[in-house]
Amino acid sequence: MGGVSPRLEDLPLRDDLRGMTPYGAPQAPLPVALNVNENTHPVPEAVADDILDAVAQALHEVNRYPDREFTHLREGFADYLGHGLSREQIWAGNGSNEVLQHLLQAFAGPGRTVFGFGPTYSMYPLLARGTGAGWVAGHRAHDFTLDADSAAEQVAAARPDVVLLCSPNNPTGTPLPLDIVEAVYDATDGIVIVDEAYWEFAPRDERSALTLLPGRERLAVSRTMSKAFAFAGARVGYLAADPALVDALRLVRLPYHLSAITQAAASAALRHADTMLAAVDDIVAQRDRISATLSALGYRPYESWTNFVLFTDVADPAATWRALYDRGVLIRDIGLAHSLRVTAGTEDETSAFLDALASLDSAS
């Protein structure tokens, strides 16, 4: 066979994919990994045991295809979300990225556009382009906030087929008031998706976009089990929407896209929702501790309703990132000028990050 192996650019790749790079964050076996917004608290042992029992039971019928409509799991998500939702209003996939991909496959695609306010989740443009749609980025204020009038004006001018609103926003942690969602919805005839991947870390007295669903058949609210549920490795995301919108997603999903193992594991985890979410308060406390200490060290943290903190006034982000890496702490350089992002971990992990960062300041 022999010969020279072909390069990517030598293959007949779609023209709109040429020059693109895949999504990904650095992976390194460091003692403290706080770079991808995982919940670093392990699944409680009693819950893990119940999940294992559920998976073991599912294995007895793994020779058969799983429930294509994942009915039991959808009922579990409806019960967890509340707000009078029924299973007909629920959809799920292998992580919220697949759920978002289903939405774009159904409502975006070639010749259509997807709109979001940058900077925002870096997968949005990749998902748009991966489904053949164009990506249009709106702008935020200097502190990454939005106001309803500006947001509506930008959406009306762009006339997108799909709008993606990250609430709270990644990578900035910025809250998204519901009046912005309402204004954006009224400014477009397209689909509006509110991505609430980090919602469980928001103040508990705040209203979710789930409260806006009645009477808004073009609105979808997506969630994930990766963050608050400490279930990132299981890859389970879901959404709530009008039943007609959910029906549209059946047109693009692959057959039996949620395995029996995934359905069993997620359903078992949902049965222990209170236990699984018990670490949220501790994560929020560590997030706020990070923000307070960063301020004391002379950095400027942005307001965050998530499990991470974006901070600026970093003289040389690349050098700071590398120095922390050399001290066994992995955080994220997301490419924003003079800024870095860190996940709130356990108390020990948070201390390790803050001590390492303080040691850099002392050395300088």
Q: Fill in the DSSP letter of residue 228.
A: T
Task: Determine the Cα–Cα distance for residues 21 and 285; give it in Å rounded to an integer.
Answer: 36
> For residue 268, which of 239, 307, 240, 234 has the smallest C-alpha distance?
234
Residue type, 323: A
Q: Are 207 and 178 in contact (CB under 8 A)?
A: yes
- Per the CB < 8 A criterion, the answer to whether 182 and 216 are in contact is no
Q: How far apart are CA 310 and CA 173, in angstroms?
A: 7
Domains of the chain by start residue, with CATH:
24-41+279-363 (3.90.1150.10), 45-275 (3.40.640.10)
| Average confidence (pLDDT) over 165-175 | 98
Per-chain mean pLDDT for the chain: 95
Res. 20 pLDDT band, cuts 50 70 90: confident
Rounded to the nearest 10°, the torsion over CA 136, 142, 144, 147 is -80
Helices of type H across the chain: 45-59, 71-81, 96-107, 123-130, 148-158, 178-186, 243-249, 260-271, 273-276, 280-296, 317-326, 347-363
CB-CB contact of 268 with 49 (8 Å): no
Whether residue 187 has pLDDT greater than 50: yes
Q: What distance in Å separates the CA atoms of residue 176 and residue 120, rounded to the nearest whole number?
A: 12
Query: How far is 3 from 341, CA to CA, in rounded Å?
Result: 44
- Condensed to tens digits (0 to 9), the pLDDT of residues 311-323 reads 999 999 999 999 9
What is the tens place of the pLDDT at every residue in 91-115? 999 999 999 999 999 999 999 999 9
The whole-number pLDDT of residue 188 equals 98
Residue 325, pLDDT > 80, answer yes
- pLDDT value for 362: 60
pLDDT at position 24 is 74
pLDDT tens digits, one per residue of 188-239: 999 999 999 999 999 999 999 999 999 999 999 999 999 999 999 999 999 9
What does the pLDDT look like over 342-363, one tens digit per residue?
Answer: 999 999 999 999 999 999 976 5
Nearest to 283 by CA among 3, 1, 27, 40: 40
Q: What pLDDT, on a 0 to 100 scale, did the predictor assign at position 245?
A: 98
Nearest to 217 by CA among 246, 258, 175: 246
Cβ atoms of 73 and 263 within 8 Å: the answer is yes
222 forms beta bridges with: 195, 239
Per-residue pLDDT tens digits for 225-277 = 999 999 999 999 999 999 999 999 999 999 999 999 999 999 999 999 999 99
Say what the pLDDT of residue 1 is.
46
